Chains A and B, each alone.
Chain A
Amino acid sequence: MSEPVADSHELHRDKISFTLPTKITGIVFWGMVLLGLLASVYILAVKENELISFYEKQALAFTHELGNLFHYELDLETDQQIEKLLLQDYSWLMEKYDVEAFQVDYKDSKYVFGVIEDNHKSIQNQLGVMSKEDSVAVVTVYLSNLDIAIIELRKNLLLSIGLLVLLFGLILQLILQRVLSQPFMNMLDSAEAFIQGEVDVRFDESRQDEFGYLSRFINRALLSLLEHQHKLEKSQDALFKEKELAEVTLYSIMDGVITTSSDACVKYMNPVAERLTGWTNQRARDVEINKIIKLINEDTCERLENPLEKCLEKNEIKRLDGHSVLLRVDGEHVAIEVSAAPMRNATGNVVGAVMVLQDVSHARHLTRQLSYQASHDALTGLYNRHMFEDYLKVALANVKEEDRHHALLYMDLDQFKIVNDTCGHMAGDELLRQLGALLKGSVREGDILARLGGDEFGVLLEDCPVDMAGIIADKIRQLVKEFRFVWQDKTFEIGASIGVVCINSDNLDLANILSEADVACYTAKEMGRNRVHFYEPTDELLAEHHGLMHWVNIVNEAFEADRLVLFKQPIKSLQGPDLDRHCEILIRMLDGEGNMIQPGAFIPAAERYNLMPKIDRWVIKNIFSQLEKMGRIDGQLRMVAINLSGATLADDGLLEYIRATGLEFGVNFEEICFEITETAAIGNLSKALNLMRELKKVGCRFALDDFGSGLSSFTYLKNLPVDFIKIDGSFVKDMANDPIDRAMVEAITQVGHVMKIKTIAEWVEDEQTLTYLREIGVDYAQGYYFGMPDRIVEIKEL
């Protein structure tokens, strides 16, 4: 790049070196030419006059000398003498005065000497002749051509002046070259060197003329310029660092950032924005933002307005979130959230906008997943109860507003428990999965099929008359009946009991409809299973089942009125001194009139309608709060057994609740034993195991209640870390008379001892049974033989 500059410099130098002094010289030269012309005219006039005067003087001198010659001959008294005189040779005299010819006119005679030509200059003079008559002679002198002389004079003069002027012009040019061009070129060289980066170069200040003054002035300007440049460089460095930092920040940021001009043309895209849009920063530069960012609604696929345009128009921050999707250049969709903010300069004017694109694909996928999980059953992929109830609410609303008729099917599988108990939960899950798929294909398009919990399914048949609902329900029943579930080497036949409820303008209460459907389903089961039953309010069987539901209200009311009471039943040691005093906590309920209600009356309803976790928590809290007092009164209290239901075991917050409540009341966890039934433990095996392990770490003990009543007792016994086995009372009660029961108790006891698990026999009601239990080696016994349950409040009163 330096060569063209140098070439340019040389070009300028040549141009300047030729033109400037030449122009000055030219202007001066022209002045000189004019002056020379005037001088020539003047000099020529003077010289011509001098020449004419010289000629006249020559003629006069010639005439005078000629007269003298005549006067020497004073005896010119006769004409003959005069003529004789005139005929003499005067050539010597003519040469002397450079006279070409002369003529003497005397009297009537003319005497010519020499040759007269037209171009000769003639000058006449009078000459007195000394004669008798004193006559006068006229002498005409002819000199050489005056015009030629003048022309020669002019030529020589003009040429001399011209050459002088030319010489003067050349000398002037040289002088100007020296005094003007050379310092100017030196200044030009200095300026060029400065431009080339030699900042130390200065103009020559040593001259005392205008160039020196100009140099000093320019040097000061250069110094000021350099200082200013230095400041500028410093601020530029700072600005560059800031810019670099900003660019690195934009480069490193995890969101896509696009900056645009005020007319919405892209100026910069960071790498994330490049990845999101599929455009490169270089390609996108100065392209209109709408050609790069195409936003659509992910649900409707409708085009969305770019928030950046709105932002520039309104001069405020705009956001677009929710369901916006970016349409990439390759046609792919990216779920994003977009915001746009105006960029303002120092004066507050909008100079552009910045758009931030956040890739929310993962978050939106999770949201969809969560939404799906919240509305669908994970096992079958059908809607869950919550979603089903939502659809039901919508259906109820449109019944009211549009007078439509719907139907609800409530279906409970028969023999599901058998599959679960004999083949395990995996088989049960697989059965539900297969049935879910089967049912999905059996309902109409638009019908809502849901798994309501366990082995219960619900179908909402919209715009379905009663007879059609019956047909669909029977079709489903038939389908389930014909379905064969195969697990390993076993084949199961499943049945379905279906309750049908009509939804019309007379029946618009959600809870009531669900309750009616449940009752109808229950009735179908009670009537022999595998059948469809339409809900009828007058049905006696349903009325009976309503009693179960009635207990739910009573339990809830008892909670509110604090009418639940606790009892304890002692557990006696059979193999040693009864030092380890144990007791089991039992719950009773008081009715509105203070009458005691046995647990058998309300516990089934509480279990069916998921009230047991609430009850168990109440029991735990009350026992923990009174435990210290109970121990102080009994003195030797060692262990308190609290029953936990299956639903409570499934409660995720139970573990934390027990820990927190225990800490709150300063409970010694080694005195706490939780009793769980075999069925409850198996039904929630993983949660039960986790709970047992965690509580055993703090000292709690566990008893497996009603052992032997299940189908796979010994199988699960190996896996459950229990401290006690409570032999099911049905074996103990008749063991005195039934050798099989006795053998069962013996077997359980032996297994327990081998596994170092102590055994507790329930329902001990007589001495003989007690004796047998001692013989077999059962460790503890419990039953009416040792005493009826005591109300804990009574103990407190004691």
Chain B
Amino acid sequence: MTNRMYRGILGALLIICLYFDLPLLMYGIIAVLFFEGITNLIIPRLIDMFGKRFVPGNALFEYRPEPCSTGARFGFESERCWRLVVGVLLAVTFHFYDILWLFPWFMAFAIFGAGLSGVCPVLLGIRWVGFK
């Protein structure tokens, strides 16, 4: 599973829970995002890891993370940071939904669009700042 696909699914889920007023799902999503960001157990990576671990005959599987890009200023991974940023933004805007009702919608469509297009401005910005 790629991060792009993950973003597509996440965006779709956000749109669904906004449209059908499913606050529990929204909180669940926010919780998952925080979990990923804090523990670095990112879902696409976990899926890849478990998918490969259970490949028959591949008993000596050892997960190897992708090599770090050389231009990074911080050791913190950009995908991990993205999840924390999105989680915080979602939590804040959803909490003040009456005032900031537009932002969750905007974020949902933006994340969904990022999944479709493969271009995520927030992620680009995070990398530009210096996260690896």
- Segment of A1-9, A154-162, A277-285, A350-358 in the binding face: A154-162
A162 and B15 contact, CB distance less than 8 A: yes
A19, CB-defined interface residue at 8 Å: yes
* A25 vs B118: C-alpha distance when bound (angstroms): 9
B121 and A165 contact, CB distance less than 8 A: no
* A30 vs B121: C-alpha distance when bound (angstroms): 9
* A18 vs B116: C-alpha distance when bound (angstroms): 11
How near does chain A come to B104, taking the closest CB pair, in angstroms?
10
B84, CB-defined interface residue at 8 Å: no
Interface centre among B109, B114, B119 (most CB of A within 10 A): B109
B88, CB-defined interface residue at 8 Å: no
B106, CB-defined interface residue at 8 Å: yes
A37, CB-defined interface residue at 8 Å: yes
A19 and B106 contact, CB distance less than 8 A: no
How near does chain A come to B5, taking the closest CB pair, in angstroms?
13
B74, CB-defined interface residue at 8 Å: no
CB under 8 Å from chain A, chain B span 4-22? 15, 18-19
Task: For A27, give the chain B residue with the smallest CB separation.
Answer: B119
* A621 vs B103: C-alpha distance when bound (angstroms): 139
How near does chain A come to B108, taking the closest CB pair, in angstroms?
8
B110 and A22 contact, CB distance less than 8 A: no
* A27 vs B110: C-alpha distance when bound (angstroms): 12
CB under 8 Å from chain B, chain A span 137-189? 151, 154-155, 158-159, 162, 165-166, 169-170
A250, CB-defined interface residue at 8 Å: no
B130, CB-defined interface residue at 8 Å: no
* A154 vs B101: C-alpha distance when bound (angstroms): 10
B15 and A159 contact, CB distance less than 8 A: yes
B119 and A30 contact, CB distance less than 8 A: yes
Total contacting residues, chain A, CB less than 8 A: 24
B105 and A22 contact, CB distance less than 8 A: no
How near does chain B come to A505, taking the closest CB pair, in angstroms?
95
A33 and B118 contact, CB distance less than 8 A: no
A368, CB-defined interface residue at 8 Å: no
Known: A41-B102, A154-B101. A25 touches B117 (CB 8 A): yes
Known: A23-B118, A27-B119. A158 touches B105 (CB 8 A): yes
**Chain A neighbourhood of B101, CB < 8 A:** 151, 154
**Chain B neighbourhood of A23, CB < 8 A:** 117-119
B15 and A169 contact, CB distance less than 8 A: no
Task: For A154, give the chain B residue with the smallest CB separation.
Answer: B101
Task: For A21, give the chain B residue with the smallest CB separation.
Answer: B117
How near does chain B come to A698, taking the closest CB pair, in angstroms?
104
* A154 vs B15: C-alpha distance when bound (angstroms): 13
Total contacting residues, chain B, CB less than 8 A: 17
A29, CB-defined interface residue at 8 Å: yes
Task: For A41, give the chain B residue with the smallest CB separation.
Answer: B102
A-contact bits for B88-102, CB 8 A (1 contact / 0 none): 000000000000011
A22 and B102 contact, CB distance less than 8 A: no
**Chain B neighbourhood of A22, CB < 8 A:** 117-119
A683, CB-defined interface residue at 8 Å: no
**Chain B neighbourhood of A165, CB < 8 A:** 109, 113
Q: Select A19's contact among B18, B110, B114, B118, beta carbons within 8 Å.
A: B118
Known: A154-B101, A155-B19. A166 touches B119 (CB 8 A): no
* A18 vs B113: C-alpha distance when bound (angstroms): 15
How near does chain A come to B56, taking the closest CB pair, in angstroms?
26
B102 and A26 contact, CB distance less than 8 A: no
How near does chain B come to A169, taking the closest CB pair, in angstroms?
6
CB under 8 Å from chain B, chain A span 435-483? none
* A567 vs B3: C-alpha distance when bound (angstroms): 135
B110 and A166 contact, CB distance less than 8 A: no
**Chain A neighbourhood of B119, CB < 8 A:** 22-23, 26-27, 30
**Chain B neighbourhood of A26, CB < 8 A:** 113-114, 116-119
**Chain B neighbourhood of A166, CB < 8 A:** 112-113, 116
CB under 8 Å from chain A, chain B span 30-78? none
How near does chain A come to B127, taking the closest CB pair, in angstroms?
15
**Chain A neighbourhood of B113, CB < 8 A:** 26, 29-30, 33, 165-166, 169
A33 and B102 contact, CB distance less than 8 A: no
How near does chain A come to B47, taking the closest CB pair, in angstroms?
20
* A37 vs B104: C-alpha distance when bound (angstroms): 12
A-B contact pairs, 30 of them (CB 8 A): A19-B118, A22-B117, A23-B117, A23-B118, A23-B119, A25-B117, A26-B116, A27-B119, A29-B116, A29-B117, A30-B113, A30-B119, A30-B121, A33-B106, A33-B110, A33-B113, A36-B109, A37-B102, A37-B106, A40-B102, A41-B102, A159-B19, A162-B15, A162-B105, A162-B109, A162-B112, A165-B113, A166-B113, A169-B116, A170-B116
Task: Give me the 4 closest cross-chain CB pairs, A-B, nearest first.
Answer: A26-B117, A26-B119, A162-B109, A158-B105
Given contacts A26-B113, A36-B109, A170-B116, 8 further A-B contacts (CB under 8 A): A23-B118, A26-B118, A40-B102, A154-B101, A154-B105, A158-B105, A166-B116, A169-B116
